[in-house]
Amino acid sequence: MKKIATLLSLTLLAISAIYAQDYIVPEEVWYHTEVIGSNYHGYVFNKDWEVDIMVENQDGRFTPEDIDIAKAEKLMQKKLAYLNRNHENQEGMCPIIDEHITKYTRQYVGFTDINGARIIWINAVWDDKVAKQLSQDIVRTEGGCGRYWSIKVNLDTEKVYGLEVNEDGDVKYIPRVKKPGPRISKPKNRQKPQRIRKTGILHNPSEVTF
Please give the average per-residue pLDDT across 147-170, as a whole number. 97
Please say if the pLDDT value at position 152 is more than 90. Answer: yes
Q: How confident is the model at residue 188 (pLDDT cuts 50, 70, 90)?
A: very low
User: How far is Cα 45 from Cα 64, in angstroms, rounded to an integer?
Assistant: 8
Neighbours of 43 (CB within 10 A): 19
Please tell me the predicted confidence (pLDDT) of residue 91: 86
DSSP output for 63-132: ---HHHHHHHHHHHHHHHHHHTTT-TT--TTSPPGGGSGGGPEEEEEEEEETT--EEEEEEEE--GGGTT
The whole-number pLDDT of residue 184 equals 42
- For residue 50, the model assigns a pLDDT of 86
CB 172 within 8 A of CB 143: yes
- Count the residues in the chain: 210
207 vs 33 pLDDT, higher one: 33
Q: What angle do CA 98, 100, 106 make, to 5 degrees?
A: 85
Is a pLDDT exceeding 60 seen at residue 168?
A: yes
Q: What per-residue confidence (pLDDT) applies to 52?
A: 87
Mean pLDDT of 25-47: 77
pLDDT at residue 92, as a whole number = 87
Q: Which DSSP helix (H) or strand (E) runs through 164? A: strand 160-165
pLDDT confidence bin for 31, thresholds 50/70/90 = low
How many other CB atoms sit within 10 Å of the CB of residue 90?
A: 21
Q: Give the 3-state secondary structure of residue 61.
A: strand
CA gap 46, 64 in Å, rounded: 8
The Cα diameter of the chain in Å comes to 91
Count other C-beta atoms under 10 Å from residue 75's C-beta.
18
Domain range annotation of the chain: 30-207
Please state, in angstroms and rounded to a whole number, the distance separating the CA atoms of residues 27 and 185. Answer: 7
Beta bridge partners of 44: 33, 108
Burial (CB count within 10 angstroms: exposed 0-12, middle 13-18, buried 19+), residue 11? exposed
pTM greater than the 0.95 cutoff = no
Q: What is the pLDDT of residues 49-86, one digit of tens each?
A: 988 899 999 999 999 999 999 999 999 999 999 999 99
First-to-last CA distance in the chain?
86
Q: What distance in Å separates the CA atoms of residue 20 and residue 128, rounded to the nearest whole number?
A: 42
